[in-house]
Amino acid sequence: MYPQNSKTEKIWRLIDILNWGKKYFKEKSFDNPRIEIESLLQHIIGCKKIDLYLQFEKTVTPEDLIILRGLIKRRVNREPTQYIIGSSEFYGRKFFVNQDVLIPRPETEKLIDVSIDILSKKENPIILDVGTGSGCIGITIALEIPFCSVIAIDISNSALSTAKNNADMYGLKNIQFINLDILCQDINHTADMLISNPPYISQEEIPGLMSDVKDFEPMVALTDNSDGLEFYRKFSNIIPQVVKKNGVTILEVGRGDHPERVKEIFSKAGYDNLESVRDLNKDTRVLVINNS
């Protein structure tokens, strides 16, 4: 039974919902049933996770139970929690998200570590964030490096409006947004850093993705509808015009042999100052291309 106040007036305390939800999401084959119910309940109550347990005897109002029921149904239908609650976290900050933008991934935070290390040594750098989506990369850099200017581009106007909302939430003045299709249109800016987490899932891999991703996240943000390398080929062509001398390009790469295939594109194009950055699992997640 869903937690709802029926005529029998069953009282639902936070702990009852947590226990019920854990069981329910487990039955529905979710990997982390406890986290599923905690995230939705915490959103409804408007509290921190720990408070759910500190105030475990607190009863939930019939109105909140009705709302919660709707959210549970959406999650069971595999809609990502971040879309259901309308926000996600990236580099310790909140970002509004919706189905127009990719949900920021923790692995993308590695790009930020690498970039702020480099940018903190430059004077008033200009950063070009290609495929900004929610704006998580460009906005985080604009916040971390206040003396920089960020140009964030995206093919999707609806993604850009979400990114602008995020920039406004942080009161940012050092970021501008441009609607541009990097694969087909020329970019009339030069930058000290090009940074991107481009759509790198190949068309072949799409059917094998989990439903949470393939049925809800924007296809345009996931795949190039080709071999997952189109954007890297494009970058290798435009870097000489777009990235200044002594500038740098920072790109997220995928799993398996994807990093090697990306690297090959740049070495074949004559770039000889390439660095791979690995994550804690020793997988290459970031490719750094230094202009000489």
Question: Under the rule (CB under 6 A), what is the footprint of ligand GLN?
Answer: 102, 104, 108, 131-134, 136-137, 197-199, 221
Q: What's phi and psi for 161, nearest 5 deg?
A: -70, -35
Select 154 or 192, whichever has its Cβ closest to ligand GLN.
Answer: 154
User: Smallest gap, in angstroms, from Cβ of residue 248 to ligand GLN?
Assistant: 17
Is the distance from CB of 138 to CB of 175 less than 8 angstroms? Answer: yes
Strand order in the sheet with 126-130: 175-179, 149-154, 126-130, 191-196, 243-252, 284-290, 274-278
User: Smallest gap, in angstroms, from Cβ of residue 215 to ligand GLN?
Assistant: 17
Select 226 or 273, whichever has its Cβ closest to ligand GLN.
Answer: 226
User: Smallest gap, in angstroms, from Cβ of residue 104 to ligand GLN?
Assistant: 4
User: Smallest gap, in angstroms, from Cβ of residue 1 to ligand GLN?
Assistant: 38
Distance CA(164)–CA(170), nearest Å, equals: 10
Select 104 or 125, whichever has its Cβ closest to ligand GLN.
Answer: 104
Helix pair angle (230-242, 258-268), 10° resolution: 40
CA-based nearest residue to 129, from 69, 194, 44? 194
Select 91 or 271, whichever has its Cβ closest to ligand GLN.
Answer: 91
Long-range contacts of 113-122, Cβ-Cβ distance < 8 Å, separation of 24 or more: 114/250, 114/277, 114/286, 114/288, 115/141, 115/193, 115/195, 115/250, 116/141, 116/144, 116/145, 118/193, 118/248, 118/250, 119/145, 119/148, 119/192, 119/193, 120/145, 122/148, 122/192
User: Smallest gap, in angstroms, from Cβ of residue 207 to ligand GLN?
Assistant: 19
* Nearest residue to ligand GLN on Cβ basis: 133
3-state secondary structure of 238: helix
User: Smallest gap, in angstroms, from Cβ of residue 53 to ligand GLN?
Assistant: 31
226: Cβ contacts below 8 Å, ≥ 6 apart:
202, 203
Select 118 or 250, whichever has its Cβ closest to ligand GLN.
Answer: 250
Select 38 or 205, whichever has its Cβ closest to ligand GLN.
Answer: 205
Query: Strands 175-179 and 274-278: what pairing?
Result: unpaired
Select 65 or 145, whichever has its Cβ closest to ligand GLN.
Answer: 145
User: Smallest gap, in angstroms, from Cβ of residue 290 to ligand GLN?
Assistant: 22
Single-letter code of the amino acid located at 154: D
